[in-house]
Amino acid sequence: MGKTHRDKAYLLHLREEPCLFTGMRASDSESVVAAHIGTKGGKGIKGPDKHAIPIANHIHKMMHEQGEAYTMRKMLPDYMLELMMEAYSEKLHREWEESR
């Protein structure tokens, strides 16, 4: 497997963005972290930084405790689910057209 791309500047940038789930920004009471999602390599192995999202620290902890997929199903706002379904349907259509 090739080297996983790391970019500290990008991860710092993500920490300044609002949480994907709550919209909150980092404050004195809680931080926003750059969480690597969709890791296929196993526990403790981070995916590439391009698969990181800004999320509130308490949600990041919840993802580790209860599982990433469970937490996302529980926390994602409706507009994000709609965007994901649109992106998936477009991917399926594009793949179908390319196979013809």
What tens digit of pLDDT does each residue of 68-97 get?
A: 889 988 888 888 888 888 988 999 999 999
Q: What mean pLDDT comes out for the span 40-68?
A: 84
**Is 86 within the bounds of a domain?**
no
**Is 41 within the bounds of a domain?**
yes
**Is 51 within the bounds of a domain?**
yes
Residue 84: CA count within 13 A, CB half-sphere? 8
**Is 83 within the bounds of a domain?**
no
96: phi then psi, degrees, rounded to nearest 5: -65, -45
Give yes or no for residue 1 having a pLDDT over 50. no
Query: What's residue 34's pLDDT?
Result: 94
Enclosing domain of residue 69? 8-75
**Is 100 within the bounds of a domain?**
no
Query: What's residue 84's pLDDT?
Result: 86
- What percent of the chain clears pLDDT 70, i.e. is strictly above it? 90
Measured distance CA(42)–CA(28) in Å, rounded = 33
When divided into structural domains, the chain yields a total of 1
Name every residue whose Cβ is closer than 8 Å to that of residue 40 and which is 6 or more positions away in sequence: 47
